[in-house]
Structure 1
Amino acid sequence: MTTTERSIAAAEAHSAHNYHPLPVVVASAEGAWMTDIEGRRYLDMLAGYSALNFGHCNRRLIDAAKAQLERVTLTSRAFHHERFADFCTQLAELCGMEMVLPMNTGAEAIETAVKTSRKWGYQVKGVPGGQAKIVVARNNFHGRTTTIVSFSTDPEARADFGPYTPGFEIVPYGDLTAMEAALTDNTVAVLLEPIQGEAGVLVPPPGYFRAVRELTRERNVLFIADEIQSGLGRTGRTFACEHEGVVPDMYVLGKALGGGVVPVSAVVSSREVLGIYHPGEHGSTFGGNPLACAVALEVIAMLRTGEYQQRAAELGEHLHAELGLLIGGGAVEAVRGRGLWAGVDIAPTHGTGRQISEKLMDQGVLVKDTHGSTIRIAPPLTISKEDLDWGLDRLRAVLTG
């Protein structure tokens, strides 16, 4: 038995099987490359589902974390700390908003958005108590807490976890007529992903987000954009909503906000919305901790340069041009996405998404499948064009070999 096989066997024996990882055991990483425990290198074309937008062990982020580790890492929210005000101020400015409510994980931030919109609905809009409704899209993925899976349409995420939380209306993604019909006087929010990542990197029809923005404004409904995967540079803009000139009432952020170093998430909105909270109504021991704020502040500073958004746009154009050439050859049925983010539908005759991912792993490229037939490509925004082309060459070889 190899070192890798022993490590995987131990993990399988002592950890819950809630994931099905590829059979690789990573020991170190830098930039867009990871090295396993036996010394083999792999090109990371997943980037931790966008948590590693700035690459592995980015020196600026590691230095920011190290400096804070020597000072103070956690105070809880029982006390103020010196990084908190700067973090909230600068993140609000990046988003063009007024207030920030920091949490840790994306799912926590979505839960926070749900609670916030309900409370806003009761206290500001005047919805009768206990009757608030939130409209979401079919095939959404916002997390795996019990409330969130209550409005999932994915059987793997939802089955056997009931009873389910009420208060949600599910409509087809991209269907404006269905969205309009779902909105009632008791609707407090519409929660959408600008691009549905886990569903296969699904991009909505042109104009859909602009129309939903106008509709929610007319009906006095909060428009919540889940930019946990799509935001912070991934699509070639700071936020994916910008591609349609849309500013939501609330951003939900996570993943890349922690720079691949620590989990950091946040809900960012106006004073009218987040100003409804009073002490004790919501919180998190680790949310907005000094270490998280120090890393996130560096992420914000990096995004302000525009360098990473530009790289994602330019390399993304190249990525989609190259992937588009694969359509029609028999192996690829469709390609979708925006910026350095793509979903590639594999023809059944060439294998499942999992099988293609395993073949790519054997060639030194790491991607991940979703929904059976799709592989997702989302390398760090710091990847070089040469490395990106190297990975695409391996993909071609696997699909045409």
Structure 2
Amino acid sequence: MSEPAARSYPERMHGAGTGGTRWRARAAVAAALAASLLACSAAPPGPAAGPALPGIDAELLQESLDRLAATGAQGVIARITRDGQVLELRAGTARHDGAEPVPHEARFRIGSITKVFVATVVLQLAAEGRLSLDEPVSRHLPGLLPDGDRITARMLLQHTSGLVSYTDHVPIDPPALSSVEEFERLRHLHHAPEDLVALATSRPLEFEPGTRFEYSNTGYVVLGMLVEAVTGKPYGRVLEERVIAPLGLRATSVPGGRESLPSPHAHGYERIAGQVVDVTELDPSIAWAAGEVVSTTADLDRFLAALLGGELLPAEQLRQMRRSTPVSPAYGLGLQRDTLGCGAVVEGHSGSIPGFASLALSAPHTRTRLELSLTTAPDAGAFRGQQELLEEVFCG
């Protein structure tokens, strides 16, 4: 997610994924993705679930989702909340070879929205005095980073550390692989976080820490390790104890090495060596604390409302989380902030991981929120409809 202030929100989502460079460009909502959907696989748009929302045109929103499903998404589900009222819309299909729509309670890989969960826990620990955002990472993780004496948790949270993103060098990229067999071997590999960090630190820093913004998944793997060093517990358990369980997010999980998704769920696809491949199942350790969490639109809505509403962080830590800087003008501490073309400000995060792309956004006052998940169709192209969706939800 480079040059955050210069590009529109949909265009910038490609940097928030967890795959390699080409993978990110395919998997994220705003990247060049499209589908040659067969007529038999396209489901008619379903009726809106829930009451009509004040100031929002449900038919226009449905048209936007249908356009996404016709130009790159296999299936789409969106949840819009305004003043406590909920509208849920779907488009496309749950499978490439079927006509069933995406399940209303579909579980999906949220990709880099995971970072907001991790940042929340880091800021909780900072509020408790168990770590300082401005102390060197080497204090708690000695020897992990060659430049650990110059890199702080704040830099990691805000993507200003200079660490290379290990996902730019991951040896698995479905469009570039020579065979399905090669992908099948790579998708089941388990990665230790130390190995992911080592892949990044084998290369020099991209810039002097604190002087530039450059989206780096490596930073959030380090933050996951920092949480473990400070608490003495697996970072996933800490997320469960501090965020998931207290908010009652029963459909949200940290999968660890579990390759399958809990039911119900839709399926995402890639075309590899000319064959359509279901990429829904994979070992999520490749993403770890940078993007492995599984959730639903309803759970993400509860999380986002609670976070921005002050339920999870003291006022000072929430203020810091939301604050951007001249060095990082559109990214706080784990929270993206952007201004749409109409002037409306939105906060939240985007995410992508093979087969899935997602959004969780809120207006700053939290009266209006949007959560969106799409599964990717096999063939390349360009998404259409997301900009219209954002403007209808947040600009009215």
Q: Quick check: TM above 0.5?
A: no
More helix by share: 1
Which structure would you say has the larger Rg?
Answer: 1
Q: Which gives a bigger RCO, structure 1 or 2 (Cα 8 Å, sep 6+)?
A: 2
TM-score (normalizing by structure 1)? 0.29
